[in-house]
Amino acid sequence: MDLLWPRSLLLLGITPVLVALYLWALHRRRRFAVRYSSLALVREALPHHSKLRRHLPFALFVLALACLVVALGRPVQIVSVPTDQTTIILAMDVSFSMRWTDIQPSRLGAAEAAAISFIQRQKFSTQIGIVAFSGFAELIQPPTRDQEALQIAIDSLTTGRRTAIGSGILKALDAIAEVDPFVAPSVSDTTSPDQPTPVPVPKGAYAPDIIVLLTDGVSNTGPLPLDAAQQALDRGVRIYTIGFGTENGPTFGGQPNQGGGPLGGNDPFGGNNPLGGGGQGFGGGRFRRGIDEATLKQIAEMTGGAYYSASSAGELQNVFQNLPTYLITKHETMEISVLFAAMGALCAALAIVLSLIWHPLP
């Protein structure tokens, strides 16, 4: 349960004050009680009220007040609802390192084959979009159910310099926002007053849309990946990350494909330096397999997704097969203020009735 107006709970500070006043009134009554010579006579004259009868009406009144304060805070409950209207954005790294042939026929070729197989297994009601990123990100194919168009888009991928994982996430968010009116587009500068950030969804609420991000490298340009992931979290969009590459990285015997087609030639993403992709060069720096797995895991964990690792074409196919796309649900926010208001009203009414029964007015 979450609260839309959590500051309203400050009013709960009234309850201990009321309890203190109640105890003070009881103590004051004892101080000014009349002294009789025979307490036995007084006990006989007074009605025999138990402590429960004396204090239960007041306790119910305090409980009623607390329930009404909680209702004022507008409590909400996240409800999971199955949905057939799902959007999946495949955000694929097309940096130059994806041209290496340590994974046959190449990293990019294996990724394309796995993505096409994944698309062919989806239900007809699922929309899929393709985002490619290297030095910047581009929406290659807006979300569609046309599998032929998606396959053409994947087959047309070309590589470029550097790796902008954050840009890939933000571009994927914008693609989702185009088809889902409940998801706000990304904000390039969250500190600018001219670009107000949307109100984050309640904790645990998710949109019926996911991002599947595949990379073989380390982000070395563009927005910080974790900042972009925070925007996805604020919109309830889950990100499933895939780290793709062999343990030792590219072999020195295998050179990137320099021919035309999807593995070489044209470079719409920023140049043709064969050592610029992924930010890892030949050795991968301090990152295992040249992949910043720590960041990818954190992106997945903070957004409610999962991280997968693949070091071969077969493992990548298994990863795409095991993505939980068949379990995607949308999470609706249901306000339950009326429930607490009803509980408060019931407790208040019960307190009044018991007080009149047990302590009738003269």
- Indicate whether 17 and 137 sit together in one domain: no
Based on the fold, state whether residues 143 and 241 are members of the same structural domain.
yes
Q: Specify whether 26 is located in the same domain as 45.
A: yes
pLDDT for position 270? 47
* C-alpha to C-alpha distance for 283 and 75, rounded to whole angstroms: 52
Which of 108, 163, 153 is closest to 131 using CA atoms?
153
What is the token pair recorded at 173? Answer: 């968010």
Say whether both 177 and 231 belong to one domain.
yes
Query: Do 283 and 143 belong to one domain?
Result: yes
Do 286 and 246 sit in the same domain of this protein? yes
Please tell me whether residues 219 and 352 are part of one structural domain: no
| Higher-confidence position of 106 and 327 | 106
> Could you tell me the CATH number of the domain that includes residue 102?
3.40.50.410
- Is pLDDT at 253 greater than 50 in this prediction? no
Give the range of the structural domain holding residue 43, as residue numbers without chain letter.
2-78+336-358
CB 217 within 8 A of CB 99: no
Q: Number of folded domains in the chain?
A: 2
Q: Do 311 and 183 fall into the same domain?
A: yes
Per-residue model confidence as pLDDT tens digits over 144-201: 999 999 999 999 999 999 999 999 999 999 999 999 888 999 998 766 666 677 888 8
User: What's the distance, CA 328 to chain centroid?
Assistant: 13
Judgement on whether residues 33 and 130 belong to the same structural domain of the protein? no
Q: Minimal CA–CA distance to 253: which of 101, 105, 108?
A: 101
Is the domain of 126 the same as that of 249?
yes
241 secondary structure, DSSP code:
E
**CA dihedral for 132, 138, 143, 146, sign (positive or negative):** negative
169 and 39: one domain? no
DSSP 33: P
Q: Is the separation of the CB atoms in 189 and 303 below 8 Å?
A: no
Mean pLDDT over 268-274 rounds to: 43
Q: Which residues pair with 133 in a beta bridge?
A: 93, 137
Identify whether residues 62 and 111 lie together within a single domain. Answer: no
What's the average model confidence in pLDDT over 80-103? 85
What local confidence, expressed as pLDDT, does residue 264 receive?
Answer: 41
